[in-house]
Amino acid sequence: MARSSLILVLLAGCDSVFGLVDDPKPCQPASFDGMTPTTLAVADEFSVDWDQRFAVISMDGLMYEMELPAGELVAIDLGVYMDLGLSLSPEGDALFYTAQIEPVLLRGALRTAAARWTLDATVPRGSYAGTPSGDAFGPRHVLVRLRTNDADVIEYEDRDGVWMPVGDLHPVPGQRAPNLSPNGLVMVYAAQDALGEHAIYAATRASRDEWFGNPQKILTGEYSQPQLLGKCHNLYVDDGALLQRFDR
């Protein structure tokens, strides 16, 4: 899950790496309200790689890979527990996920081939991790919710295979950890406002050395697990039963 995974990126091909270094600045999120989504799959949980070529999906407690936009579901084995909080690396070669035991357990896996995963990769301390930044931008960064039902989120950086906390704790509403864009400069998350309205929010920053600016609402509705890809033009969400993509 740490920098050693760059070897797997190179084995998997160079498209993602070239794409990543072509995206050095934060994209500017905008509203997807009023747009009609494309339904991609039945899914309880999901995460999509940066090239939007494949997804990891959980459905009825079982785990699958799926080529996007309409490939067959291929079963994968990530262990015996019910898993939530799926978070693929941008290159699609590693995955964070949270086993639903007491207390919940943040786990990691490395993708060694199509539908083949090696378990027990190194993970930071916490309960839920979002999608990390890409290796091509330097040390990976990831946002982690330390405890369930706790607003505190902390940022970790991979330093030679060890996840080290950087910066201060920051309250971010919601249950899961925010997802990062591949360059680590945009975060996106699902939350409720003070009036109980569900929405998707995004925030940007100029550098990974600073925290994010004020969040903005980009989609109203009871959606979860948002990923903002395609330079902020494609928003993936789950509506409680379906993996959907909004495009603008």
Residue 225: CATH number of its domain: 2.115.10
Predicted confidence (pLDDT) at residue 199 exceeds the cutoff of 50: yes
Q: Quick one: what percent of the chain has pLDDT higher than 90?
A: 85
Q: Quick one: what percent of the chain has pLDDT higher than 70?
A: 91
Q: Count the domains in the chain.
A: 1
How would you class 82 by CB atoms within 10 Å of its CB: exposed for 0-12, middle for 13-18, buried for 19 or more? middle
pLDDT at position 195, please? 87
Burial 43-74 (b: 16+ CB within 10 A, else e): bbbbbbbbbbebbbbbbeeebbbbebeeeebe
Residue 18 pLDDT level (bands cut at 50, 70, 90): very low
Amino acid at 33: D
Containing domain of residue 47, as a range?
3-247
Tell me the C-alpha distance between 190 and 234, whole Å.
Answer: 16
**Mean pLDDT estimate for the chain:** 90
Predicted confidence (pLDDT) at residue 14 exceeds the cutoff of 50: no
User: Which has more pLDDT, 129 or 17?
Assistant: 129
Q: State pLDDT tens for residues 79-107.
A: 999 999 999 999 999 999 999 999 999 99
What is the distance in angstroms between the CA of the first residue and the CA of the last residue of the chain? 32
Q: What is the mean pLDDT of residues 190-217?
A: 95
Q: What is the mean pLDDT of residues 42-58?
A: 97
CA dist 238 → 75, 135, 151, 186, 190 (Å):
20, 27, 21, 19, 10
Predicted confidence (pLDDT) at residue 149 exceeds the cutoff of 70: yes
